[in-house]
Amino acid sequence: MNREYATNFSTMLDRRDFILASMGTAAWLMMSGFPRSDQAASPLALPPLPYAENALEPVITARTIGFHYGKHHKGYVDNLNKLVAGTEYAEMPLREIIIGSAGQPENSAIFNNAAQIWNHTFYWNSMKPKGGGEPPTALKQRMEASFSSVDACKQELAAAATTQFGSGWAWLVLDGDTLKVVKTGNADLPLTNGMKPLLTIDVWEHAYYLDYQNRRADYVNTVLDNLINWDFAAKNLG
């Protein structure tokens, strides 16, 4: 990592993430609950789901997971491997590809596909069968300090997810010492703005349309009540 790259990289990450990044993307991904297959450099492999395709039913059906994971997520992996072949990104871990291509119009296709691989892997881990319920104590206390209550945090997440115009994502993030809810369009993600993602909700139409048609709010609220993985968010909180 040259000095100029390291300087730019460190401005986008907090101190803990920068230390972990200097150890290699694998360390951060392991601490964030990512499967090991998401850590390798090119050719990147499709990370396995953390549960069976039918494990989130009836909230999200196996049919939706089959298309979403098996077609869309896999498509981003296949596209990225083609795009980075023979380039400086070919041997970079996924997270470094994202950071290195962010804000570069000439590499927008690389960024979009790399970020979508990362976002989707994070999204699968942001849910679990029989999720929802009460967050772990440390996370709950931070949510109450930042939002006044767990319900208020959920309401902000729901509002961000339902008001995101077009395709995108709603995120619970750690920004400095404060928890915040942010939304991003298309493939954008909080990593490139120096925020630490804790969990996310996918609001691209392919995430919910087979099950909910145009009822995005029903999808979002049902995920928050029944699938959201507060343990994953607490683990990412550190």
Token pair 């997971």 in the structure block, residue: 65
Measured in degrees and rounded to the nearest 5, phi and psi for residue 227 equal: -125, -20
Q: How far is CA 164 from the centre of its chain?
A: 16
**End-of-domain residue from the set 125, 146, 164:** 125
**End-of-domain residue from the set 95, 125, 155:** 125
Same-domain pairing of 141 and 216: yes
Token pair 């871990």 in the structure block, residue: 93
Global pTM? 0.84
Rounded to whole angstroms, the Cα distance separating 93 from 26 reads 8
Same-domain pairing of 117 and 154: no
Rounded to whole angstroms, the Cα distance separating 201 from 172 reads 9
**End-of-domain residue from the set 104, 125, 146:** 125
In sequence order, the 6+-apart residues with CB closer than 8 A to the CB of 52 are: none
Report the run of H or E that residue 226 belongs to, with start and end.
helix 216-226
Same-domain pairing of 156 and 88: no
Is residue 131 included in any domain, yes or no?
A: no
Same-domain pairing of 190 and 83: no
Angle made by CA atoms 65, 70, 75, in degrees to the nearest 5: 130
Is residue 130 included in any domain, yes or no?
A: no
Rounded to whole angstroms, the Cα distance separating 53 from 101 reads 32
**Long-range pairs for 107-110 at CB < 8 Å and ≥24 separation?**
109/79, 109/83, 110/80, 110/83, 110/84
Q: Which of 163, 207, 157, 203 is nearest to 182 (CA)?
A: 157
| Annotated binding residues for Mn(2+) | 68, 120, 202, 206
Same-domain pairing of 120 and 160: no
In sequence order, the 6+-apart residues with CB closer than 8 A to the CB of 187 are: 111, 112, 113, 115, 116, 119
Per-residue pLDDT of the chain (238 residues; tens, 9 = 90+): 343 433 343 333 333 343 333 333 333 343 344 443 344 555 899 999 999 999 999 999 999 999 999 999 999 999 999 999 999 999 999 999 999 999 999 999 999 999 999 999 999 999 999 999 999 999 999 999 999 999 999 999 999 999 999 999 999 999 999 999 999 999 999 999 999 999 999 999 999 999 999 999 999 999 999 999 999 999 999 8
Q: Can you give the CATH number for the domain in which 81 is found?
A: 1.10.287.990
Same-domain pairing of 149 and 220: yes
Same-domain pairing of 101 and 148: no
* Phi-psi domain of 132 (left: phi exceeds 0; alpha: psi -120 through 50; beta: other): left
Rounded to whole angstroms, the Cα distance separating 238 from 233 reads 9
Rounded to whole angstroms, the Cα distance separating 123 from 157 reads 14
Range of the domain at 203: 137-237
Same-domain pairing of 15 and 98: yes
Same-domain pairing of 29 and 105: yes
| Annotated binding residues | 68, 120, 202, 206
Same-domain pairing of 92 and 39: yes
User: What is the tally of structural domains in the chain?
Assistant: 2
Same-domain pairing of 193 and 219: yes
User: How far separated are the first and last CA of the chain, in Å rounded?
Assistant: 26
